[in-house]
Amino acid sequence: MLSRKPPMGFNTWNTFGEKISDSVIRETADAMVEMGLPDAGYEYLVIDDCWSLRDRDPVTGKIVPDPVKFPEGMKAVSDYVHSKGLKFGMYSCAGTRTCADYPGSFDHEYLDAETFAEYGADFLKYDFCYKPQSANGPLLYRRMGMALKACGREILFSACNWGCDDVETWIRSTGAHMYRSTGDINDNFRSFKDIALSQIDKLAYSAPGCFNDIDMLICGMYGSGNVANGGCTDEEYKTHFALWCMFSSPLMLGGDLRKLKDQPFILNLIKNRNLIRINQDEEGRPAVAVCRRDGDRVTFAKHLSNNEIAIMFANLNDDDGNCELFFDELGITAAGGYGLEMTECFTGENIGVKKEYMKRRIPAHGCEVFICKLSK
Ligand code: GAL
Assign 166 a pLDDT band (cuts: 50, 70, 90): very high
Assign 352 a pLDDT band (cuts: 50, 70, 90): very high
Residue range 76-111, pLDDT digits in tens: 999 999 999 999 999 999 999 999 999 999 999 999
pLDDT score at 243? 98
pLDDT score at 237? 98
Residue range 203-249, pLDDT digits in tens: 999 999 999 999 999 999 999 999 999 999 999 999 999 999 999 99
pLDDT score at 145? 98
Residue range 319-348, pLDDT digits in tens: 999 999 999 999 999 899 999 999 999 999
Q: What b-and-e string marks burial along 242-272, b requiring 16 or more CB atoms within 10 Å of the CB?
A: bbbbbbbbbbbbbbbbbbbeebeebbebbbb
pLDDT score at 228? 97
Q: Which CATH code fits 288-375?
A: 2.60.40.1180
Nearest CA to ligand 1 atom 3: 184
CA 48–ligand 1 middle distance (angstroms): 8
8 Å CB contact between 277 and 371: yes
Residue range 267-276, pLDDT digits in tens: 999 999 999 9
User: What value does the mean pLDDT take over residues 39-44?
Assistant: 98
pLDDT score at 163? 97
Our answer on whether the CB atom of 112 is closer than 6 Å to any ligand 1 atom is no
Q: Which residues contact 103 (CB under 8 A, 6 or more apart)?
A: 52, 54, 55, 56, 63, 96, 97
Our answer on whether the CB atom of 100 is closer than 6 Å to any ligand 1 atom is yes
- CATH class, domain 8-279, is alpha beta
pTM: 0.98
Could you tell me the sign of the dihedral formed by the alpha carbons of 34, 39, 41, 45, in that order? positive
Out of 127, 213, 215, 256, pick the active-site residue: 127
pLDDT score at 95? 98
Question: Bridge-partner residues for 367, per DSSP?
Answer: 314
Indicate the domain borders of the chain: 8-279, 288-375
